[in-house]
Amino acid sequence: MNTEDLHFEGEYPIVIEGLTNAFGDFVVHEDLCLKVRKGEILGVVGGSGSGKSVLMRAIIGLQVPREGRIEVLGRDITAAEPDEVMGVRNRWGVLFQGGALFSTLTVGENVQIPLKQFYPELSQQLLDEIACYKTVLSGLPREETNKYPSELSGGMKKRAGLARALALDPELLFLDEPTAGLDPIGAARFDELLRELTDTLGLTVFLITHDLDTLYAICDRVAVLADKKVIACGTIPELLENPHPWIQEYFGGPRARAASAAKSRGKGMDKQGDSEA
């Protein structure tokens, strides 16, 4: 839905400076700074209560920060009027935890919600066609468009939520624990789909996850939340050089080593396939 002249041409579509988020006297973030590079999949990790989801909600305007500045696609949304923010919201898509589908609507009707909100002039026929296309793009069979969320498996619900997030042809994609609750095979397939969509559609992805396999498999960089701020942001090899105890425990533990080994095996199989071809 975006026209070419609206596409963000800068290096950092998300810039956060001096951000403070608080609930009463409880401070979640304090003087948090982060820049997200255009075209990357940025993984966001942190311990329980570190405010990963709060940070995402602040970026998309669902959480009003106490202090700081958030610039999205070149606009300061912390100082913008509501109608100005609306001009940016149709350029991002969001997949909340669990998919957050409306249970009384079919998959297709769920996908059509943002289309109807931002483009009320679209005919029902075109809405149906777009919903079907986005459903298939997200890895679901065409016939799933007419099913209700209660008729879908956990992995299918995630893909349906992804289809809705892609409805407006966004430049930014926000994902909150997209592989949580999925079996290893389903999670790996979702990761592969996300990497393919990012490369094909030119997306910038803000990905909250605790899944080490996802971090190693598809994330270009990882931002670590601790001590109320982003304490480090870089590739996993760069993070392994950081002496912070949480980073060393998280990325140096047995599960991380297993995820790293799995990635290395995958690269080895890819090279073998290339040589055989």
Tens digit of each residue's pLDDT (9 = 90 or more) over 205-262: 999 999 999 999 999 999 999 999 999 999 999 999 999 999 999 988 767 667 777 7
CATH architecture for residues 4-91+170-276: 3-Layer(aba) Sandwich (3.40)
Alpha-carbon dihedral sign for residues 182, 240, 46, 62: negative
Q: Give the pLDDT confidence of 4-21 residue by residue, as tens digits.
A: 445 777 799 999 999 999
The Cα angle at residue 71 between residues 171 and 169, in degrees rounded to 5: 15
pLDDT of residue 277: 46
Q: Which portions of the chain are predicted below pLDDT 70?
A: 1-6, 80-86, 254, 256-257, 264-277
**Predicted TM-score of the model (pTM):** 0.89
Provide the pLDDT for residue 97: 83
Sheet containing strand 41-46, strands side by side: 92-95, 172-176, 204-208, 41-46, 221-226, 229-234
Domain range summary for the chain, segments of one domain joined by + = 4-91+170-276
Q: How many Å apart are CA 240 and CA 208, to the nearest integer?
A: 19
Average pLDDT along the chain = 89
